[in-house]
Structure 1
Amino acid sequence: MINRVVLVGRLTRDPELRYTPNGAAVANFTLAINRPFTNQQGDHDADFIQVVVWRRQAENTANFVGKGSLVGVEGRLQTRSYENNEGRKVFITEVVADSVQFLEPRNARANAPSTNNYSQQPPSNNNNSNSYQPSAPNKGANDPFGDDPFADDSKPIDISDDDLPF
């Protein structure tokens, strides 16, 4: 039998990290995943998938990603149930992650470039090898598009959290 799930989406909030009485780390988060088709109004609907990750991967996820981060999750689908305060049985379906991949640099959400003309530089041999250093867009005679109106002008983009769909 096969029970494998592969998802790519954005976190709707920061992961919640807790520890079991035995000291095992567990993190919970929700992924927002756009559907590939539009509804009657022309908008993309999204699915919100609950994810649970354990041990060292849970600690890494809680420490290195936050609300809006793009992540890839591989794991298995699991259902469980419990009885709530009103005595009703509540069923929960969630993904138990075996792997969480961080799909963008740690500071990409804060410094999101407005164009795809940036590339990540290979790590240097200095002490700051984990930092993301964007390369400047290639402007000049070899630029087939000429002046790009969407090129990064090094000004910050002012977007509030209320404008984000997640």
Structure 2
Amino acid sequence: MAINLFIVTAHLGKDCEQRWTPNGKAVASFSIPVKQGYGDHEKTSWVICKMFGPKAEKLPEYLTKGTKVTVTGEFVMEEWTSQNGERKSAPVIIVDKIEFGGNGGNQAGSQQPARQPQQSQQQAPQNEPPMDWDDQEIPF
């Protein structure tokens, strides 16, 4: 048995779009960039993310171009035939969870972007030296 779980944090490439299936089910879709490689060999691929049902109903008001999100879901390759008969495919994430702000935000079930609490940030104790890692000391 294989596990198909895709998790990525990125900024939306355009505003979320919403449509409705003939039976009245909401479908929200948006695109995110996924980078691979590095330096001169870096390449950006755009992945379509789709969320269905009640979770997708209010997403468009919160997911606008540039919004940082972390999505978790199943990776699939959607395939279709274009109007001129050409076979096409695109990578798609069927979103199970979405967090706003990229780390620790609210999940889509609440439909609200994460808000930072208005509390003072704790400072690190002054008697501890700052962490300074040498690449040779990292075990991986």
Q: Secondary structure at the match of 1:39?
A: helix
Identity in percent: 24
Q: Relative to structure 1, is the Cα distance of residues 60 and 38 closer, same or farther in structure 2, using a 3 angstrom cutoff? A: farther
Q: What aligned pairs does 1:74-89 form with structure 2 within 5 A after superposition? A: 74-89=72-87
Find the aligned partners of 1:82 and 1:35 in 2 and give their Cα distance: 26
Q: Relative to structure 1, is the Cα distance of residues 34 and 91 closer, same or farther in structure 2, using a 3 angstrom cutoff? A: closer
The answer to whether the Cα contact below 8 Å between 2:48 and 2:93 also exists between their aligned partners in 1 is yes
Q: Which residue of 2 aligns with 1:121?
A: 118
Q: TM-score, normalised by structure 2?
A: 0.67
How many angstroms does 1:60 deviate by? Answer: 3.1
Q: Return the letter of the residue paired with 1:48.
A: W
Q: What are structure 2's unaligned runs of at least 5 residues?
A: 106-112, 121-140
Q: What aligned pairs does 1:55-74 form with structure 2 within 5 A after superposition? A: 55-74=53-72
Q: Return the letter of the residue paired with 2:18.
A: L
Q: TM-score, normalised by structure 1?
A: 0.57
The answer to whether the Cα contact below 8 Å between 2:73 and 2:96 also exists between their aligned partners in 1 is yes
Q: Return the letter of the residue paired with 2:27.
A: V
Q: Return the letter of the residue paired with 2:87.
A: K
Find the aligned partners of 2:89 and 2:99 in 1 and give their Cα distance: 28
Task: Provide the aligned C-alpha RMSD in A.
Answer: 2.9
**Runs ≥4 residues deviating over 4 A:** 104-108
The number of residue pairs the alignment matches comes to 113
